[in-house]
């Protein structure tokens, strides 16, 4: 009986350690992450940042997640036939030693279904996934531009 309990405990420890040991997206740096404050009842918010790839190989960010939101999506704004259009992106490619701006009117994060109201001064963590690699980044909530 003791042997079974010891084996079960060892398996649980290994599974827990493996779940926590995801390497960072090699070369990915997320800078100046920020979220404009939204009304407390808002179900959608936006996120902006500068992403850079300091590595020698291209990177593909295939997902972004955050515990403070129901889901996070990558989106692109563009002008088509005189109308501003927004569409979801399947991911984001960063060339080797290159960067991408997540900014108003272009590529950005859509932060859906906030789990609680966010105020200026709050910080949230968003995780950028590159396959099985994850890079966490801090995003500061700032007053919305006037």
Question: Which pLDDT belongs to residue 19?
Answer: 46
Contact 102, 49 (CB under 8 A): yes
- The answer on pLDDT for 79 being more than 90 is no
Region for residue 96 given its phi and psi (left: phi exceeds 0; alpha: psi -120 to 50; beta: otherwise): beta
- Which carries the bigger pLDDT value, residue 2 or residue 49? 49
- Report H helices in the chain: 2-20
- Mean pLDDT, residues 71-81 taken together: 93
Count the alpha carbons within 13 Å of 117 in the hemisphere toward its beta carbon: 6
| pLDDT average, residue stretch 115-143 | 97
For the chain, which residues make up each domain, given as ranges? 23-142
Homologous superfamily of 23-142? PCu(A)C copper chaperone (2.60.40.1890)
DSSP string of 100-142? Answer: EEE-TTSEEEEEEEESS---TT-EEEEEEEETTEEEEEEEEEE
What is the reported pTM?
A: 0.82
Taking the C-alpha atoms of residue 87 and residue 98, their distance in angstroms, rounded to an integer, is 23
What does the pLDDT look like over 43-69, one tens digit per residue? 999 999 999 999 999 999 999 999 999
């Amino acid at each position: 009986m003791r042997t079974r309990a010891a084996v079960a405990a060892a398996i649980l420890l290994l599974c827990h350690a493996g779940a926590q040991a995801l390497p960072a997206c090699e070369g990915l740096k997320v800078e100046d992450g920020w979220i404009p404050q939204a009304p407390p009842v808002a179900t959608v918010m936006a996120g902006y940042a500068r992403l850079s790839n300091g590595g020698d190989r291209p990177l593909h960010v295939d997902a972004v997640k955050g515990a403070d939101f129901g889901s996070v999506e990558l989106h692109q704004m563009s002008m088509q036939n005189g109308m501003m259009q927004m569409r979801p992106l399947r991911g984001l490619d960063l060339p080797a030693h290159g960067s991408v701006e997540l900014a108003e009117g272009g590529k950005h994060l859509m932060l859906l279904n906030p789990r609680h109201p966010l105020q200026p001064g709050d910080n949230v963590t968003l995780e950028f996934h590159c396959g099985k690699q994850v890079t966490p980044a801090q995003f500061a909530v700032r007053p919305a531009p006037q």
